[in-house]
Amino acid sequence: MLNLDFHPSGRHFLQIPGPSPVPDRILRAMSLPTIDHRGPEFGALGCELLGKLKKVFKTESPVIIYPASGTGAWEAALVNTLSLGDKVLMFETGHFAALWQKMALRLGLEPEFLGLTGAEGWRHGVQADMIEARLREDIDHQIKAVCVVHNETSTGVTSDIAAVRRAIDAAAHPALFLVDTISGLASADYRHDEWGVDVTVSGSQKGLMLPPGISFNAISDKAIVASQDSKLPKSFWAWDEIIEANRNGYWPYTPNTNLLYGLNEALDMLLEEGLDHVLARHQRWAAGVRKAVEAWGLEIQCQDPEVYSPVLTGVVMPEGVDADEVRQLIYERFDLSLGMGLGKAKGKMFRIGHLGDCNDLTLVAALGGCEAGMKLAGVVLKGSGVTAALDHFANHPLEAAK
């Protein structure tokens, strides 16, 4: 129940894997007055940020910005490229992959859902060989698109997007390749052009360190060609008018002006730091958090060390412990928000976000909240995760991690 008398001092620890903490520099940029979105200053801002945005997606092609959460950009990716009844091949990595599949069904597509089952389910990344085998069977090219989630936020597992591209090419299949990196962009390595992705979907409130409210489609030439034949109804999401207006830095309808100030600032922060440095920082934090989980003697949801997420870590609770009760206790006692187990993982695990505007000590504090809270909840821990993470951070300076 919401306790309105609860006014904790100090900063709240927002350690969910999105929305992530918004840096003061971005909040200040967003506090500037809202301007005329048809005026000259706005056009200059639009051109500038659309250019910088391409660098973060690692693309030379257009990136569309929507005033919508990530779910809107998911829908945009499907309705701009596909037609009623089209078969799409999707891979079940976790809850977000399942939600995208449900959306495809609701839009009148025919999704086929591949995935690992049983104890293996939701604990590994995409299996490119399964995609290749299925595409090879599809001799008359009924499958129009392959859809994969790059960083599965419900589990803390990434997927090898380059391997899926190789699988599609090995099967010599013409399907479009659609990728959700809503939580991966700017925290996990991502390369739209190099990996031959046709539509990349992303959002503002995860690695980009912005509040929720804008989302993205990075698109390839092949996707633009597909959009000209695609028959699913679209108007708000249609790429053509947005691309046209974007040439001069404008949008066909009112964009999210103040969030775009924030986006421009976020892009400056990321590009000034250098993307390689940003990615190394996330890998190092993730390794420190895993050291903590290991020291506690608990299991990590991801079972494949090759694809541990640099964005978040899923911590599995021992049999008989309700992860949501532990989370609630941690929230109430330590003013620390952790991600809940979603879908099939509900009550079995919690998720620690280590993305965006964190540092070693905010993470150590967050781990302190987890450790103290688990003890209070009666979870038997093997040792101190806080000490293990502190030691890891002390012994692995970031410069050495690069």
Ligand X SMILES: *Cc1c(COP(=O)(O)O)cnc(C)c1O
Residue numbering of the annotated binding site for substrate = 351
Tell me if 182 contacts ligand X by CB under 6 A. yes
The four Cα atoms 22, 27, 28, 33 give a dihedral, to 10 degrees, of: 160
The four Cα atoms 285, 209, 154, 50 give a dihedral, to 10 degrees, of: -120
DSSP category for residue 118: G
Q: How far is the CB of 336 from ligand X (least distance, A)?
A: 20
| Residues of each annotated binding site | 351
Query: Of 75, 295, 85, 311, nearest to 183 (Cα)?
Result: 311
Out of 21, 70, 207, 339, the only residue in the binding site for ligand X (CB under 6 A) is 70
Q: Which range touches ligand X (CB under 6 A), out of 35-43, 67-75, 235-243, 320-328?
A: 67-75
Out of 35, 43, 52, 69, the only residue in the binding site for ligand X (CB under 6 A) is 69
Q: What are phi and psi of 297, to 5 degrees?
A: 80, 25
Q: How far is the CB of 297 from ligand X (least distance, A)?
A: 28
For 141: left if phi > 0, alpha if psi spans -120 to 50, otherwise beta; the answer is: left
My answer on whether omega of the bond before 111 falls inside 30° of 0, hence cis, is no
**DSSP string covering 16-46, please?**
SSSSPPPPHHHHHHHTSPP--TTSHHHHHHH
Region 97-156 residues binding ligand X, contact defined as CB under 6 A:
149, 153
In this structure, how many other beta carbons lie within 10 angstroms of the beta carbon of residue 316?
A: 18
Binding mask 9-48 toward ligand X (x if CB under 6 A, else -) reads ---------x------------------------------
Q: Which range touches ligand X (CB under 6 A), out of 66-74, 300-308, 326-334, 371-379?
A: 66-74
Q: What are phi and psi of 335, to 5 degrees?
A: 55, 40
Give 132 or 180: the residue with its C-beta nearer to ligand X. 180
Q: Which range touches ligand X (CB under 6 A), out of 64-72, 261-269, 276-284, 372-380?
A: 64-72
Region 203-222 residues binding ligand X, contact defined as CB under 6 A:
203, 212
Out of 15, 20, 159, 183, the only residue in the binding site for ligand X (CB under 6 A) is 183
Residues that bind ligand X (CB under 6 A): 18, 69-71, 96, 149, 153, 180, 182-183, 203, 212
